[in-house]
Amino acid sequence: MIRAELNKRSPLRVFEKSIHGGLGKGNIGVIASRHGIGKTACLVHMATDKLFRDEHVIHISFSQNVNHVIAWYEDIFKEISTKRELEAAMDVHDNIIKNRVIMNFSQDNISVEQIIRSLKTMIEDGGFKADSIFFDGYKMTTVEHDAVERLKEFAKNMDVELWFSVSPVLDGVDFDEYGVPETLANIEDVVDVLIGMKYDGEEIVMTVVKDHGEANPSQMAIKLDPKTMLISRL
Amino acid sequence: MAEFTNMRNIGISAHIDSGKTTLSERILYYCNRIHSIHEVRGKDGVGATMDSMELEKERGITIASAATNVTWKGVDINIIDTPGHVDFTIEVERSLRVLDGAILVLCSVGGVQSQSITVDRQMKRYNVPRVAFINKCDRTGADPFKVTSQLRDKLGHNAVMMQIPIGLEDRLEGVVDLITMKAVYFDGPSGDDVRYEEIPAELQDLAEEKREVMLDAISMFSDELMEAMLEGEISEEMIHEAVRIGTLSLDLTPVYMGSAYKNKGVQSLMDAVLKYLPNPTEVENIALDLDADEAEIKVSAGNEKKTVSLAFKLEDGQYGQLTYIRIYQGKIKKGDELYNTRSRKKFKVGRLIKMHASSMEDILEAGSGDIAALFGVDCASGDTFCHPSLNYSMTSMFVPNPVITLAIDPIDKKAADSMAKALNRFTKEDPTFRTYVDPESNQTIVQGMGELHLEVYIERMKREYGAEVETGQPQVAYREAISKRAEFNYTHKKQTGGSGQYARVAGFIEPNEEENYEFVNKIKGGSIPNEYIPSCDKGFQSAMVKGTLIGFPIVNVRASINDGQYHAVDSSDQAFQTASLNAFRDAYTRAKPIILEPIMKVNVEGPTEFQGNIFASINQRRGIIISSAEDGMFCTVEADVPLSEMFGYSTILRSLTQGKAEYTMEVNKYGKVPQSVSEELKKAYEDKRKAESSKK
Ligand SMILES: Nc1nc2c(ncn2[C@@H]2O[C@H](COP(=O)(O)OP(=O)(O)OP(=O)(O)O)[C@@H](O)[C@H]2O)c(=O)[nH]1
Ligand SMILES: [Mg+2]
């Protein structure tokens, strides 16, 4: 399959459809669930889909080691390209990873200011015109409301869309029926799109809990396949 | 000859400037090989013993690895101190090739740095078990706990602290040994006197906690220990045994710490070398039997067996021409006859010696597992010397391709002669240093791994051979390649006076990802007679030496022939070579040739406040930022940048960051140059050719 065809058939088209054509620049999207459901895989697939469409992506992680993140991208790329029998896969690979930067913050309790400062530096001094930024495992449930507002302002100023994967920092937190931790309520008003992920005993169900201000939960026609860790059609 | 169990061959490898040479100096001193300690760049101006080359002492860096022999507690240890700078990576590569174990040195502040990652990869390549030594614990910001977790996270080691520090930075006093649960201090001006005491009260809890972690981690290597732990009766022996098993299988990296400079912790590290690193019988080595289709043969220590040894390093130093060898099997005696399986020549062993730091000792024989040196043997680095009845080759080591070239001109006739001698010597010593004469400009070109690498050889040429040369601008070693298949059908025909020349070849060339070059013969029915097939192969290969785009070697081609024609009288080897060469060049222009350039993996480390400048400097160099990692005050940026854009980067980076950032780089891959650059290169080549032909 050639790249254009692959993009057309991507399950992410279904994803976008269920949130009115996509998140959109200047907006904040959150994917929330318990730990260990596969949010990283989900984010990496979303980011890879953007890369396949020649968009520029920054991936932010808060771990010790960027190599793990790179390995995720390699795995997901390989899954997609083999599954779809992508033509000239190596060329495509080399071409799209040019448009990806990984930024890692390993110090504890890094401030939102510092993250925003570093991102601006990357975009302005590094000349990296990001279209979207993916935050893997950001502590959304414990940050100040104000911090999220600042991120939103940043998204608007820089004309980027921001996606976050979020699990609760503390133990003993309750989750709603869609897999969203209650502790997220504090900042929910700043979030434009909220998606919950939940294991229902058979598969990982994805629900649009909030869609550009509309709070009318509906299950998406996609799921996360636990075998390949890819987003796929139901 | 020592008992095998009383022998170790170890290397010391690490990132630049982490203190390998300083550590080696301590080891020499504690083993009574030298009587006083001299520092790298020390005030006494003597310089470290292992950095014996004048240039090394002046610059305070190690350029060539040095082998030395010491005795620690009755065990005979061959130690190789290796350079940290990537330009000399082949030195590390070949040392690790012949070593059985290694000390991975890390800076307690810098932690796992880019070169630590490279060195670690090399250690894995040759299956070398290692112990880690976290050095410079006396420096401000020292954090051996952080470095240990980096060993786990960044290198994926099962790194386990065998000690904890007593005090850190300027209060570093010693270490707590988590096996004996004793505090260890190193008294006296040079730390000679090792004193054991009770653990300071304030460290008792931490020591117990870390001991538990250590025991937990190592218990998986020994059922005996696991049981003993349940019963609460653990002996030191059990712990040693478990650590040893884990280390030898590369599943465990025991971590030691201290400060070489402040003479702390070195003796404990040496004890660990004896206890946990393998003796020569405990590592597997493979040779290829050249008489049996390169079948793999295990070689193993045993002095009664037939000799197999590897020449891993050549040195033309203060004592004359030395060849360092590692004996894998059998022994070598003065007067023995050995067979060099590459040159297929026999030679007699003359002087046989053992190196001790800067002195040497004549010996009569050396046994399996040992490292020794021969005098005056004509060979190249990497040659295998066997008993004359064997035809083995030790599996080769990984040799990276040179990426930078430099034109050099001797200043006069005398310099030209000495230069030729020097080049002949250096290229034999160092497989990453190459040289050739450009047929068009008639200039001598040298190639190497980086600016520093070439600079060092130019300087050595002057100092050691009195050869002064003028140098051009360093240039990137570009390559040419084809991007699509193209057919050829070429007839070479010449009728001049007597016998003529005739040959026709037909076939195609196509891109070849796997190899630099492959020749495929698809001729059926003898349209080209068998005797001329090798001539076609040769003709293609000579066409690939120099591409027609910008005059650099062509790589990654498969050339196939499927038809042709010959003439009973006028065909010859030469005619088919010429026909093939021209056929290749003709097809080449139609095969959409492209220019490839070395792309470097660049790693910049510096204070976060300069992040913007660092990003910008990479962006301006056609670089692609792969990642940027921030850890409080420090950030590390990893990027792919074309080598051609990196000349002079150190000066620029220094000025951009007030000298506070550092970078390292190594070849990552060859990548296609962008259109605009390609046009520039082609034009420059055209101009150069025109200028040269108008000169003639
Ligand atoms: N504070 C402190 N400085 C040290 C220590 N060990 C080495 N140094 C200093 O660090 C610098 C580099 O030390 P070397 O021993 O030359 O390092 P190296 O790893 O051999 O360097 P290359 O061979 O060039 O890669 C020298 O100035 C040493 O004096 C230490 O334990 N503490
Ligand atoms: Mg050194």
User: Domain total for chain A?
Assistant: 1
- Give the count of beta carbons closer than 10 Å to the beta carbon of residue B71: 14
| Tokens read off for B575 | 């005619």
In-domain check, residue B686 = no
Residue among A11, A20, A7, A22 nearest A161 (CA) = A22
User: Long-range contacts made by residues B685-690, C-beta under 8 angstroms, separation at least 24?
Assistant: B685/B549, B685/B550, B685/B551, B688/B441, B689/B440, B689/B551
In-domain check, residue B696 = no
Which of B591, B610, B626 is the last residue before a domain boundary? B591
The bridge status of strand A57-61 relative to strand A132-136 is: parallel
Q: What is the pLDDT of residue B46?
A: 66
Given a contact cutoff of 8 angstroms between Cβ atoms, the answer to whether B470 and B409 are in contact is yes
CA distance A89 to A93: 6
Amino acid at B98: V
The total number of residues shown for chain B amounts to 696
Q: What is the pLDDT of residue B317?
A: 66
Q: What is the pLDDT of residue B145?
A: 94
Q: What is the pLDDT of residue B90?
A: 83
Given a contact cutoff of 8 angstroms between Cβ atoms, the answer to whether B2 and B274 are in contact is no
Closest ligand (CA of B40): 1
| ipTM of the complex model | 0.89
CA B620 to the chain's CA centroid? 30
B77 lies in the same domain as B144: yes
The bridge status of strand B253-257 relative to strand B130-135 is: parallel
Q: What is the pLDDT of residue A201?
A: 82
In-domain check, residue B361 = yes
CA distance B135 to B153: 19
CA distance A231 to A203: 12
CATH number at residue A52: 3.40.50.300
B91 lies in the same domain as B169: yes
CA distance B309 to B388: 12
CATH number at residue B582: 3.30.230.10
Q: What is the pLDDT of residue B521?
A: 93
CATH number at residue B666: 3.30.70.240
B15 lies in the same domain as B65: yes
CA distance B565 to B506: 9
DSSP B645-687: G-TTHHHHHHHHTTT--EEEEEEEEEEEPPHHHHHHHHHHHHH
Q: What is the pLDDT of residue B259?
A: 93
Q: What is the pLDDT of residue B357?
A: 62
Residue among B394, B306, B384 nearest B340 (CA) = B384
B333 lies in the same domain as B368: yes
B37 lies in the same domain as B155: yes
Q: What is the pLDDT of residue B13?
A: 85
Helices (H), chain A: 3-9, 11-17, 39-52, 66-83, 89-97, 112-124, 145-158
User: Domain total for chain B?
Assistant: 5
B341 lies in the same domain as B439: no
Q: Angle, nearest 10°, between helix axes B236-248 and B223-231?
A: 150
B201 lies in the same domain as B243: yes
B97 lies in the same domain as B221: yes
Q: State the pTM of this model.
A: 0.75
Cβ distance of A118 and B611 shorter than 8 Å: yes
Q: How far is the CA of B383 from the centre of ligand 2 (A)?
A: 26
Helix (H, G, I), strand (E, B) or coil at B594: strand
Q: Which of A56, A95, A107, A111 to mutate to test the interface with B (most CBs of B within 10 A)?
A: A107
Pocket-testing residue among B13, B22, B186, ligand 1, by greatest number of atoms within 8 A of Cβ: B22
B445 lies in the same domain as B532: no
B586 lies in the same domain as B603: no
For chain B, 696 residues long, the average pLDDT of each consecutive 10-residue run is: 81 84 86 74 69 74 77 87 81 84 91 82 86 93 92 88 92 92 89 89 92 91 87 88 92 94 92 92 85 84 88 76 89 90 88 78 88 87 88 79 89 90 87 83 87 90 89 89 94 79 93 88 89 93 91 92 89 91 94 93 90 92 90 87 89 87 85 89 89 74
Which of B591, B606, B625 is the last residue before a domain boundary? B591
Question: Which residue segment(s) compose the domain that B514 sits in?
Answer: 484-591
B339 lies in the same domain as B229: no
The b/e string for B83-103 (b: 16+ C-beta within 10 A; e otherwise) is bbbbbbbbbbbbbbbbbbbbb
- B667, β-bridge pairs: B600
CA distance A170 to B213: 25
CA distance B297 to A93: 40
Which of B332, B367, B394 is the last residue before a domain boundary? B394
pLDDT confidence tier of residue A154, bands split at 50, 70 and 90? very high
In-domain check, residue B280 = no
- Taking the CA atoms of residue B639, residue B644, residue B646 and residue B652 in that order, the dihedral angle to the nearest 10 degrees is -130
CATH number at residue B11: 3.40.50.300
CA distance B476 to B462: 24
B178 lies in the same domain as B317: no
Q: How far is the CA of B136 from the centre of ligand 1 (A)?
A: 8
| Tokens read off for B256 | 């030691």
The bridge status of strand B75-81 relative to strand B66-72 is: antiparallel
Phi, psi of B465 (to 5 degrees): -125, 0
Residue among B236, B215, B237 nearest B226 (CA) = B215
Pocket-testing residue among B38, B61, B190, B261, ligand 1, by greatest number of atoms within 8 A of Cβ: B261
In-domain check, residue B695 = no
Residues in A closer than 8 angstroms to B149, CB to CB, are 64
pLDDT confidence tier of residue A106, bands split at 50, 70 and 90? confident
Q: How far is the CA of B256 from the centre of ligand 2 (A)?
A: 19
In-domain check, residue B65 = yes
Question: Which residue segment(s) compose the domain that A171 sits in?
Answer: 3-233
Nearest CA to ligand 1 atom 12: B17
Instruction: Supply angle C-alpha B484, B502, B537, rounded to 5.
Output: 45
In-domain check, residue B542 = yes
Handedness of CA B222, B224, B228, B230 (dihedral sign): positive
Cβ distance of B618 and A121 shorter than 8 Å: no
| Chain A residues bordering chain B (beta-carbon distance below 8 Å) | 63-67, 69-70, 94, 98, 101-107, 110, 114, 118, 121-122, 124-128
The bridge status of strand B371-375 relative to strand B352-356 is: antiparallel
Q: How far is the CA of B15 from the centre of ligand 2 (A)?
A: 10
Nearest residue on chain B to A106, judged by CA atoms? B631
Q: What is the strand order of the sheet B320-329 is part of?
A: B345-348, B337-340, B384-386, B308-317, B320-329, B371-375, B352-356, B359-363
Q: Which of A104, A107, A118 sits opposite B627 (nearest CB)?
A: A104
